[in-house]
Amino acid sequence: MSRENILLDAVSNDLEIIEFYLEEELDDGSIYTSYFGMNVAKVLSIIRRPPVTGVPGKHHPAALGTFNLRGKVLPLVDLALWLGKKSPDNENRKVIVSEFSSITTAFLVSGVNRIHRMTWGQVEPPGKHLQSFSHDSITGVVRFDQRIVFLLDMEQIIASMNPELSLDAHAEQVPESAATQGHGLTVLIADDSAPIRAIIARVLEKTGFTVIRTTCGREAWDTLKALKSKADAAGIPVTDLVQLIISDIEMPDMDGHTLTRHIKEDPTFKVLPVVLFSSLISEVVYQKGVKAGADDQISKPGLPQLAKRSRELITTFLGK
């Protein structure tokens, strides 16, 4: 099966991650190696460390400067430094050039190991202690025989480097005139990033929606089933309790495509509109969302249109 066909297989719950590592120089002079990963779909290329020019004005210490790659000026971010690690400098370090949310950024790492093919079911959500320790920068944990690989929240890292690119900045663009468009309506959101979950909820609540927050596709699906039981006990349709689902795509345990497929294949839930809200809406990923049954797909950070589109879909599908 080709890679494109794998990506288009909405039933598979599959993903590919590229594993890289960061070396940290400890106080005693020894080297400690940590392993991390990111979705291959976000990776454009892997190159040797290029020479960089300085960043004018104030900037984050991890922003090393910029360099020219095929006529495009890209920022270079030292991931070890961003994570608070002192990494030994050497010429063999690699740079991962990535693109998501229509932003291209290069990340300096100690080295790259390999690509792993797996399912989202193999990705564990991080515990609260790990989330707190990592400042919510880790979204998933993958356990291999000899090491643990942490999946990083690359969107949060970029936003910390340039606040103008953050979802928070786009949240302020929602007009005050939209304050009542979600009045009396409930939206269930599924996103594994705590900061993004909070921002989406804040925008929806600002426009009048009631929001149910869940951390992954599995929790969202379990929550929907619990709402169905509650509706059955009260003798009302489940659409009286929830009117729309907004889901990220990349999530531990069950991804957004699989959640969408479960909803659209269920005779009770299939009437509910589903919006995929992700930084990964490429053409191939978009077609996978269509195959899964998504009713709309919005690329992060399109927050201003999210509330408006949610209201339109609820009116179209449920007449509310």
pLDDT in tens, 108-131: 999 999 999 999 889 998 887 776
How far apart CA 1 and CA 62 sit, in angstroms, is: 40
Instruction: Provide the domain limits for residue 131.
Output: 3-163
My answer on whether 45 and 32 are in the same domain is yes
Mean pLDDT of 56-65: 77
**According to the model, what pLDDT value does residue 7 have?**
43
Report residue 92 CA to chain centroid gap.
30
pLDDT at 296: 96
Shared-domain flag, residues 224 and 129? no
The verdict on 221 and 301 lying in the same domain is yes
Q: Where are the alpha helices (DSSP H) in 165-249?
A: 167-171, 194-206, 217-234
Same domain, yes or no: 274 and 174: yes
Number of structural domains found in the chain = 2
pLDDT surpasses 80 at 65 = yes
Q: Which of 163, 180, 202 is the last residue of a domain?
A: 163
294 and 307 share a domain?
Answer: yes
Pick the closest to residue 203 from 189, 216, 215 (CA basis): 189
What distance in Å separates the CA atoms of residue 108 and residue 94, rounded to the nearest whole number? Answer: 6
150, 177: one domain = no
Cis peptide before 301 (omega within 30 of 0): yes
CATH number, domain containing residue 291:
3.40.50.2300
User: Does 150 share its domain with 184?
Assistant: no
pLDDT given at position 15: 86
CATH at residue 149: 2.40.50.180
18 with 148, same domain: the answer is: yes
- 3-class DSSP state of 54: coil
What was the pLDDT predicted at 6? 41
Task: Among 137, 163, 189, identify where a domain stops.
Answer: 163
Instruction: Specify the DSSP element, H or E, that contains 141.
Output: strand 138-143
Domain finish residue from 107, 128, 163: 163
Kindly tell me if the per-residue pLDDT of 280 is higher than 70. Answer: yes
Give the pLDDT confidence score for residue 21 in this predicted structure.
97
| 28 and 124 belong to one structural domain | yes
Q: Same structural domain for residues 151 and 209?
A: no
With cut-offs at 50, 70 and 90, classify the pLDDT of residue 168.
low
- Are residues 268 and 292 both part of a single domain? yes
Contact indicator for 255, 222 with CB cutoff of 8 Å: no
Same domain, 15 and 72: yes
- Bridge-based pairing state of the strands 31-39 and 14-25: antiparallel
pLDDT computed for residue 56 by the predictor: 56
